Amino acid sequence: MKDRMIYHPPFPKNYADEFLVLEKGKGSWVWDRSGKRYLDFSSGIAVNALGHGRIDLARVAYRQMKKLTHVSNLFTTEPALQLASRLVATGERLGGPAFAAVHFGNSGTEANEAAIKYTRVYALRTRGEGHHKLLSFTGAFHGRTIGALSLTPTEKYQKPYHPLLPGVETASFNNLNDLDRLDASYAAVFLEPLQGEGGLDQITPEFAAKLQEICHKHDILIVADEIQCGLGRTGTFFASEQLGLVPDIVTLAKPLAGGLPLSATLIPAKVNNIVHVGDHGTTFGGGPVTTAVAGKVLDIILNQDFLAEVTQKAQFFTEQLNRLQASNPSVRAVKGLGLLRGLALNLPQGSSLLSQILSDAQEEGLLLLRAGTDVLRLAPPLTVTTKELSQGCALLEKVLKKNLA
C-alpha cells in the first residue's frame, strides 16, 4: 500500500515539504492514495462549494471540450456570453443596478488585479492624475501577485517583495475613525465583507454605512472581494447582501467554475464607459470550458431553494459549534456566516498548537483550515449534509479536547 504522505516533492520551497496525497473525492469526502477517507471541511480553500466528483459538471466540461477548448480573447464563445449576461444581472441582488460588464480571469488574485487597474483608470480619466491611492484593511487577503499583495497587509507575505505597489494604504478593519482619511486622492477601497484568512470578521452595518457615505461623496469606488465569501457560501449569492454593503465592483473566483480556474470582475457602467481597448486583457480568462461549467454552477447556486438549504444547514452548523464552544473553555468565539465559519481559540502567544490541531484533525479524518494564528476555519461544501456537519463537529471536539484540555 502506498504511503499517504509524500515528503520533499519537486515543488518550490514556498510550499510545505510534506503533503497528503489525495486520489479521489465524492461529495463531502476525499480519499488519499492509501484508501483512507477524510471529511473535507476545507473544500480546496472554499473552491469545491458543490462537493467533489460532480458528474453533472464533468459532463458539461466533456461536451464543451469535444466542441471547442480554447479561443483566446481575440474571439468569444456562447458559454462566455451567456455566463457574462447572467453575472452582470446579479448586481440587482445588491439593491443597485445591474453591472455593465464582467472581466474574466483565472484566479482570485487576477480578479483583484483587474479591479486595481479599472479603479485607477477610472480615477485618472474622470479626475486626472494624483487620485490613484488605494485603501485596504487589516486582516485582508486579496492575493499573491504584486498589486493584490500590496492590498494584503500581512508582513510575512509582503516583506520579501518590497518595494510593493505605491499609493496603497492600510486602515483598521471596522474602525469608523480610520475612514476619515478618505478624500478625493483615493481611487478605491478594497475589502472583504467577511474576511477569510483574517479571522472570519465581518463588516458592521455602521462601518458599511459610513464607508459608502464617504466614498459616494468623493466618487471613490468600493471593491467587494467576494472571492471566498461569495457565490452562496453565506446563504445569499453575495455576502454583501446580508451586511448592508452596495459595492461598485465585485470580484469572484474560487467556486465559480466548480474547481476549474475562473474569476470574474464585475464592473458598473460608469467604469466600463471610460475603459479603452487594450487597457487590460488575458489569454485564458473566460475560456469556453470554464465558462460552460460555471453556467452549470450558477444553475445550482442561483436557485433559491438551494440557497435556503444552505441557510438551514448553516443554522444547524451554528448550533453545533455553539455547543462545542460551551463544552470547551478554550474556544473563545464562534465566528463567520453561513458555511464559512471560524472557531477563535485561546492559545498562548507564539504557540504552535493551531498547527498541531490541524495535523491531529487530519489524522482523525477531518480536513480543516487556519485563519490567522488562533482561528480554525471551517468551509465545508455547500452540499454537506447535517449528518456530516455533526460528524465533523464530533471529530473536531475530540481533537480540541486532546490539545486544549
- Sequence-distant (≥ 6) Cβ neighbours of residue 223 within 8 angstroms: 112, 115, 119, 188, 189, 190, 191, 247, 248, 249, 250, 251
Rounded CA-CA distance 249/261 in Å is 20
Terminal alpha carbon distance of the chain: 35
What are the cell numbers at 23? 486520489
% of residues, the chain, pLDDT over 70: 99
CA 157 vs. chain centroid, Å, equals 18
Strands 249-252 and 263-267: antiparallel
Query: Among all chains, which residue has been given the C-alpha cell 459608502?
Result: 212
Would the pLDDT of 175 be above 50?
yes
The pLDDT of residue 275 is 95
How far is CA 350 from each of CA 111, 332, 354, rounded to the nearest angstrom?
A: 34, 17, 10
Q: At what angle do helices 386-404 and 304-327 cross, to 10 degrees?
A: 30
More confident residue, 282 or 7: 282
Out of 37-51, 137-151, 304-318, 345-359, which region has the weakest mean confidence (pLDDT)? 345-359
Q: Are 298 and 102 in contact (CB under 8 A)?
A: no
The pLDDT of residue 74 is 94
How far is CA 337 from each of CA 54, 136, 214, 234, 332, rounded to the nearest angstrom?
A: 25, 21, 27, 5, 17
Gyration radius (Cα) of the chain, Å: 21
Residues linked to residue 49 through DSSP beta bridges, in sequence order: none
What are the cell numbers at 78? 456562447
What are the cell numbers at 139? 486582516
Out of 153-157, 164-168, 327-331, 349-353, which region has the weakest mean confidence (pLDDT)? 349-353
Average pLDDT, whole number, for the chain? 96
Rounded CA-CA distance 361/9 in Å is 23
- Segment holding 333, helix H or strand E: strand 331-337
* Degrees to nearest 5, angle at CA 367 with 364 and 373: 105
Taking only the tens place, the pLDDT of each residue in 292-305 is 999 999 999 999 99
Biggest distance spanned by C-alpha atoms of the chain: 65
The pLDDT of residue 267 is 98
Beta strand spans in 54-180 (E): 101-105, 133-137, 168-171
pTM (predicted TM-score): 0.95
For 85-99, what is the mean pLDDT? 91
Q: What structural domains and CATH numbers belong to the chain?
A: 58-301 (3.40.640.10), 304-380 (3.90.1150.10)
Q: Are 83 and 294 in contact (CB under 8 A)?
A: yes
Spatial CA neighbour of 310 closest among 340, 336, 334: 340
| Residue 1 banded pLDDT, cuts 50, 70, 90 | very low
The pLDDT of residue 121 is 98
